[in-house]
Amino acid sequence: MTDKVDITLAVNGRDYDIRVEPRRTLADTLRDDCGLTGTHLGCEHGVCGACTVIVDGAPVRSCLMFAVQAEGKAVRTVEGLANGDTLHPLQQAFMDHHGLQCGFCTPGFLMLATGVLEREPDISDEDLVDVLSSNLCRCTGYQNIIKAVRAAAAEMRAK
Amino acid sequence: MTDAPVHLADGRWVGRSLRRVEDPALVRGQGRFTADLKADHFVRFVRSPLASGRIVKIEAPEGARMFTAADLAAVKPIQPMLHKFNYRPIAQPILARDVVRFVGEPVAAILGRTDAEAEDFADQVELDIETLDALVTADEALGDNAPLVHDEAPRNVIVEGIVKTPDFDATWAKAAKIVRIDARSRRQNATPMEARAGHASFDPSTGRVTLTCTSQMPHLFRTTVCDALDMPESELRVIAPDVGGGFGQKMSVSPEYVMLVFLARRLRTSIAWTEDRRENLIASYHSRDQQLSLEGAFDADGKLLALSGDIVANIGAYSCFPTTCGVEPLMAMAELPGPYDFRAYACRSRGVATHTCPIAPYRGVSRPSITFVLELLMDKAACELGIDPVDIRRKNLIAAFPYTSATGLVFDEASYRETLEMAAKAIDVPAFRVRQKAARAKGKYLGLGFGTFSERTGYGTPAFAARGMGITPGWEQVEMAMDPSGFVELKIGASPHGQGLRTTLSQIVADQLGINPNRIRVVHGDTDRTPYGFGTFASRSLVIAGGASVLAARKVRVKLLQIAGHFLEAAPEDIVLEDGNAKVAGTDRTIPIRDLARAAYHGAHQFQKDFVPGLAETATYDPGGTFSNACHVAIVEVDIETGGVKIEKYLVAEDAGRIINPMIADGQIHGGVAQGIGNALYEEIVYDETGNILTSTLADFMPPTAHEIPPIELHHRETYSPATITEAKGLGEGGGIGAPAAIVNAINDALSPFGVSVAEIPATPQRIRAALRAAEQRS
């Protein structure tokens, strides 16, 4: 179990040549081997969604995927969301609408919403709540998260 | 306290929905949380799989380094103290010695070079524990022949309080109607999204240790860990970096942190522990778990004359530090009378030890439970006396202030009746009743419920001293310095974990100094950098740290005006500070504040001999406390077939005094309501009869998602507090206090055609169906 394997992970457009145990989760690998600690672990059993990242365009729980499974795929994390100094519309909307308090679940929500809005820009309000119920937040009561994602969706559509 | 309140002109920073300075880093994933730190070693705690037992053998796997109680001979247990005659002091060992007392109790610490290795080792530890009888419920623990959880506590009662006003019996005898409620608030877990974590690092060059951890009160963590390890406090630095929610759970100092610092010193290394979710659910602190029996004596018109209560709290195996296990039962007894005006009160309240995880504060502490039971009593009384639920509250809510309660609490200005009227009007009760009737005819069961409450907030040392706590918190201190460039650093003892305190305090200070809030940096959560303080809990930070910030800013302001007077050749009292400048009122003579700051440091020679260079000031604030209030209203639909509850509408009429940042205030209420909804309908820690936990994942213990939380309609009223410098009242917990009462009253209103009700939270489908089934069997 502890024999390590060499893999190359493509994260946010950059290649990371790393050596990991096959059992190592993508979440642990991103955090500890790539130094990308923006991805957070809230439960490690796939319920809370704090560790959500985008793999080949789809939001996934990085605590339920092994790093070796992500080799050859394009991984995106919260660190890759902004374009230099310009925040992604979702990041800006979360700030404008007070969609975060402690901020621990925020990267997961941002990546979940990014993945969904990129695939389905015209998603209905109802379906959006359905999707956002994949992740847990303990601070905001969700109202402002929903407001923020709706605002960002409108802005992304307008562009 | 003789400080006059702050009167702020329009156009100032206070009262604006300023965006949070905390956010840019957090949305970029640049927050810095404890688990982000690298360590040389990782520790896992081997935890008891049994609720009660005698440790026979603990054997480490080959190649592993393990510590047990035998290695901690010189380490003192954690000893929470309450100076009351009916409190049994129960110490909590750092690692279980000889016996285990709850599932999840740490019995050994085992090390690995990686977290995974430590976990592998922990799985291989040979743990032999002889099973003893376990007490899981308070009823079992109070039973005649029950074994003792601790020899020091006869009948397993750790703390007991009794109160009875002299007029009680005579008043009781005058009652036209006695109404009784037996209610239950089940065990829950605060469930912050970031579980607990700690990282202790030894610095060989100084011999000091830095403990970075998920703490709501870093200074008290330092004191407690140092007491246990008998080390000078100057040798330990405690840092609470970004903390992913606390809600009370991260207020208590648990044994794991003592162990981390012990190991870092012993091994002269850095060592990390990140709790997993299962550990958090079984072995961090639980909350609530109260049985409450209440009787109200009413006159024929529905006026509450007297109240009698019996409260039993299952406090688990140990008393938490620093609040002690008295935090739930004793606060329940003191604050049960709530917002209602009556003089005669009797109550008995007990904290009972069992073989379960210890109980600690959780958002609202006790008040979600007591508000729930009292508001159920009001609705039941209204029903039995044929009065409208709004009318019975109108009749009984306190209307004249200041008001001294039956238990001696002094309520400052509040708006109990006004917020009730606001809420009733906004929900449109008559229109709802028409709709409810029409819906019932179609087999759709709607219900309307109210939850009115008074929330004690922002209380200082006197309130804690009255509790007799071994540690008496309350005051807050700040250190403020304007640097030579005119920027301000404000160091606070309070330590927020998501409340946006850096933003709100900077708004308060900006108004005092006439500068933009973006020139103010608030520093917190580091015992090397900040003055001693008690952190963030009990809806206190903004009120108390905010008051201290105003006091410090006033001192800086006096000095700025003195310097400005010199340059502008005017009397300080004729000068105003605004928009970054000092101006002589009514003239065009002005000087930038940054020039005054530079002069304070670099131009001391220009002033009189007694001039003290610099612009650094310290201030302390210790208020007596204030009371926020609110009326929550819920409209629910109960599915009679399944027992499922859907919240159709949720409304809050809230009064938290002066609102510093409306956006942040609303966010706090939203979050509180969501936790209150979880409390009312979903979240429950379940033990089996042997004391094993059945809800150890988030698939079993179920915080609500975006689906379950409806839009929350907020109505504000601002009754400025005469008891605080900023005129603000705390509001961090209110959302969670009103929700269980409003929701369960609404459920019972919906169930009224069936002649049944529920008095237990969470009001799960099973409990609602059980009530309905009992009615079906009767008919």
User: DSSP readout, A119-135?
Assistant: H-TT--HHHHHHHHTTS
Residue B598's CB is within 10 A of a number of other CB atoms, namely 16
- What torsion, rounded to 10 degrees, do the Cα atoms A26, A30, A32, A38 define? -130
Residue A134, domain member (yes or no): yes
Round to whole Å and give the CA distance between B760 and B767. 8
Encoded tokens for B553: 């800013």
Q: What is the pLDDT of residue B290?
A: 97
Query: Do residue A71 and residue A95 come from a single domain?
Result: no
Contact (CB, 8 A) for B748 and B447: yes
Q: What's the rounded mean pLDDT across residues A35-39?
A: 98
* Average pLDDT score over residue span B256-274: 98
Strand partners, A19: A6
CA end-to-end span of chain A: 49
User: Which residue type does A95 have?
Assistant: M
Q: Is residue A16 part of a domain?
A: yes
Please check the confidence at residue B334 and state whether its pLDDT lies above 60: yes
pLDDT value at position B2?
A: 35
Using the CB atoms, write b or e for B149-176: b if 16+ within 10 Å.
Answer: bbeebeebbbbbbebebeebeebbeebe
Same-domain check for residues A100 and A66: no
Cis peptide before B61 (omega within 30 of 0): no
Q: Which of B230, B219, B220, B217 is nearest to B262 (CA)?
A: B230
| Residues A112 and A144 reside in one and the same domain | yes
User: Where does the pLDDT of residue A159 fall: very low under 50, low under 70, confident under 90, or very high at 90 and above?
Assistant: confident
Give the pLDDT confidence score for residue B8 in this predicted structure.
Answer: 45
Regarding whether A96 and A73 lie in a shared domain, the answer is no
Residue of B246, B247, B265 lying closest to B196 (CA atoms) = B246
A contact residues 92-151, partner B, Cβ 8 Å cutoff? 94-96, 98, 100-107, 110, 129-130, 132-146
pLDDT digits (tens, 9 = 90+) for B652-682: 999 999 999 999 999 999 999 999 999 999 9
Q: Among B184, B191, B93, which residue's Cα sits nearest to residue B137?
A: B184
Q: Let me know if residue A84 belongs to a domain.
A: no
Residue to test with chain B: of A37, A90, A101, A125, most B Cβ within 10 A: A101
A38-54 pLDDT per residue, tens: 999 999 999 999 999 99
- Closest to B153 in 3D by CA, of B95, B80, B86: B86
Are A125 and A65 found together in one domain? no
Please indicate, yes or no, whether residues A125 and A72 belong to a single structural domain of this protein.
Answer: no
What is the percent of chain B where pLDDT is above 70?
99
Number of domains into which chain A is organized: 2
What type of residue sits at position B687? Answer: Y
Optimal mutation site among A28, A104, A127, A147, interface B, most CBs of chain B within 10 A: A104
Asked whether the predicted pLDDT for residue B4 surpasses 60, the reply is no
Q: Is residue A10 part of a domain?
A: yes
Per-residue pLDDT tens digits for B547-573:
999 999 999 999 999 999 999 999 999
Which among B175, B92, B99, B187 is positioned nearest to B138, based on CA atoms? B187
d(CA B364, CA B679): 11
d(CA A9, CA A75) in angstroms, rounded, equals 8
pLDDT for B100-120, tens place per residue?
999 999 999 999 999 999 999
Residue A2 has pLDDT above 50, yes or no: yes
SS3 call for A10: strand
| pLDDT at residue A33 in the model | 97
Question: B474, B459 in Cβ contact below 8 A?
Answer: yes
Region of B641 (left: φ > 0; alpha: ψ -120 to 50; beta: rest) is alpha
Per-residue confidence at B740, pLDDT binned at 50, 70, 90? very high
List, in order of start, the domains of chain B with CATH numbers: 8-31+475-621 (3.30.365.10), 34-132+196-274 (3.90.1170.50), 364-456+624-778 (3.30.365.10)
Boundary-marking domain end, from A56, A78, A100: A78
Mean pLDDT, residues B228-239: 98
Alpha carbons B554 and B175: distance in angstroms, whole number: 54
Residues A72 and A95 in one domain: no
Q: How far is A15 from chain B (nearest CA, A)?
A: 19
Please report which confidence band the pLDDT of residue B417 belongs to, taking 50, 70 and 90 as the band edges.
very high
The alpha carbon torsion through B329, B333, B335, B341 (nearest 10 deg) reads 160
| Same domain membership, residue A37 and residue A60 | yes
Residues written for chain A: 159
Q: Which chain A residue's Cα is nearest to B246?
A: A102
Instruction: Summarize the confidence of residues B387-406 as an average pLDDT.
Output: 96
A83: in domain: no
**How many angstroms separate the CA of residue B756 from the nearest CA in chain A?**
31
In a shared domain, residues A102 and A52: no
CA distance B648 to B637: 7
Q: Within 10 A of B697 (CB to CB), how many other CB atoms are there?
A: 15
Q: Which residues of A touch B193 (CB under 8 A)?
A: 40, 42, 48, 50, 102, 104-105, 136-139
Query: Is B497's pLDDT higher than 80?
Result: yes
pLDDT band at B608 (very low <50, low <70, confident <90, very high): confident
Residue tagged 């009223």 (tokens): B717
Q: How far is CA B519 from CA B485, B514, B526, in A?
A: 10, 11, 21
Distance between CA atoms of residues B91 and B470, nearest Å: 13
CB contact at 8 A, B709 and A142? yes
Is residue B632 within 8 Å of B652, Cβ to Cβ?
yes
Other Cβ atoms less than 10 A from the Cβ of A41: the count is 24
Query: Closest Cα of chain A to B28: distance in Å?
Result: 6
Give B677→chain A minimum CA distance, Å.
10
Q: Do B28 and A91 touch (CB under 8 A)?
A: yes
Domain boundary among A45, A78, A111: A78
Same-domain check for residues A97 and A132? yes
**B17 pLDDT exceeds 70?**
yes
Per-residue model confidence (pLDDT) at position B773: 95
For chain B, what percent of residues have pLDDT higher than 90?
A: 94
Q: What is the rounded distance in angstroms from the CA atom of residue A111 to the CA atom of residue A77?
A: 7
Minimal CA separation from B669 to chain A, in Å: 8
Closest C-alpha to B595, from B626, B567, B571 = B567
CA torsion sign for B379, B382, B388, B391 is negative
Query: What are the start-end ranges of the E strands in B219-374?
Result: 236-239, 270-274, 286-298, 304-316, 344-353
Rounded CA separation B203/B270 (Å): 9
Instruction: Specify if A36 maps to a domain.
Output: yes
Chain B interface test: which of A30, A143, A150 (most B C-beta within 10 Å) = A143
Region of A45 (left: φ > 0; alpha: ψ -120 to 50; beta: rest) is alpha
Within-domain flag for A120: yes
Spatial distance between the Cα atoms of B693 and B20, rounded to a whole number of angstroms: 39
Query: Which runs of consecutive H residues, i.e. helices, occur in A5-158?
Result: 26-28, 89-96, 106-119, 125-132, 143-158
**Residues 1-30 in A contacting B (C-alpha not used; CB under 8 Å):** 2, 21, 23-24
A31 in the same domain as A71 = yes
pTM of the model: 0.96
Per-residue pLDDT band at A1 (split at 50, 70, 90):
low
Which residues between 197 and 256 in chain B have a beta carbon less than 8 angstroms from any beta carbon of chain A?
242-245, 247
Q: Detail the DSSP E strand segments found in B321-461.
A: 344-353, 403-404, 410-411, 445-457
Contact B83, B468 (CB under 8 A): yes
Q: Residue B259's pLDDT is what?
A: 98
- Please state, as a whole number, how many other Cβ atoms lie within 10 Å of the Cβ of residue B295: 18
Range B238-244 average pLDDT: 98
**Scanning the structure block, which residue is given the tokens 């915080």?**
B703
Could you report the per-residue pLDDT of B761-772, keeping only the tens digit for each? 999 999 999 999
The yes-or-no verdict on residue B6 having pLDDT over 80 is: no
Domain span holding position A105: 89-158
Whether B463 shows a pLDDT value over 90: the answer reads no
Residue B10: band (very low, low, confident or very high) from pLDDT cuts 50, 70, 90: low
CATH of the domain at A149: 1.10.150.120
Q: Mean pLDDT across the stretch B702-726? A: 95
pLDDT of residue B583: 95
Q: Which one, of B216, B270, B273, lies nearest residue B245 by Cα?
A: B216
Mean pLDDT of all residues in B73-80: 96
Q: Residue B525 is which amino acid?
A: G
Q: A94 lies in a domain?
A: yes
Query: Is there a single domain that holds both residue A67 and residue A99?
Result: no
CA distance B353 to B148: 9
CA distance A54 to A76: 5
Question: Three-state SS for B504?
Answer: helix
Segment B192-199 mean pLDDT? 98
Q: Coil, strand or helix: which one is B561? A: helix
Tell me, what CATH number does A70's domain have?
Answer: 3.10.20.30
In percent, the amount of chain A with pLDDT more than 70 equals: 99
ipTM of the complex in this document: 0.98
Q: What is the mean pLDDT of chain B?
A: 95
Tell me how many degrees the CA angle B618-B555-B656 measures, rounded to the nearest 5: 80
The Cα B505–Cα B497 span in angstroms is 14
Q: Rounded to 5 degrees, what angle do the CA atoms B723, B728, B732 make?
A: 115
Say if strands B760-761 and B270-274 run parallel, antiparallel, or are unpaired: unpaired
Kindly report, residue by residue over A77-136, the tens digit of the pLDDT: 999 999 999 999 999 999 999 999 999 999 999 999 999 999 999 999 999 999 999 999
